[in-house]
Amino acid sequence: SQQGEEDPQALSIQEGENATMNCSYKTSINNLQWYRQNSGRGLVHLILIRSNEREKHSGRLRVTLDTSKKSSSLLITASRAADTASYFCATDPGTASKLTFGTGTRLQVTL
């Protein structure tokens, strides 16, 4: 079963614009992570935010977490064509258990 639901399912923007994708989840978490997947490839870890953090930055990425609303958002600033990929949030309950992934947002960045 999938823990998270991502919104929107698909997003198309032009190079240089910002992309925002949202993730909602159902149960309590220890941390929430974002991964990127290029077509037909494995997932690559982007950023991790812990349950006691509200915002985190890494390069052009900005992640926010609202545990009261059980939601997170990923912002990619100044997007590039190379950012075209699917983005997944994943929740970690923190009991040495597994990550549970959302349904993903497909991002298309055009020139």
Partner 1 sequence: DTGVSQDPRHKITKRGQNVTFRCDPISEHNRLYWYRQTLGQGPEFLTYFQNEAQLEKSRLLSDRFSAERPKGSFSTLEIQRTEQGDSAMYLCASSFQEEKLFFGSGTQLSVL
Site map 63..92 versus partner 1, x via CB under 8 A: -------------------------x-x-x
Q: Is 48 in the site for partner 1 (CB under 8 A)?
A: yes
Confirm if 73 and 23 have CB atoms less than 8 A apart.
yes
CB of 111 to partner 1, least distance (A): 25
Residue 45, interface with partner 1 (CB under 8 A)? Answer: yes
> Residue 27: CB partners within 8 Å, gap ≥ 6?
3, 91, 93
Per DSSP, 33 falls in state: E
Return d(Cα 92, Cα 8) in angstroms, integer: 22
Interface contacts to partner 1, rule CB under 8 A:
1-2, 4, 30-31, 33, 35, 40-45, 48, 88, 90, 92, 96-104
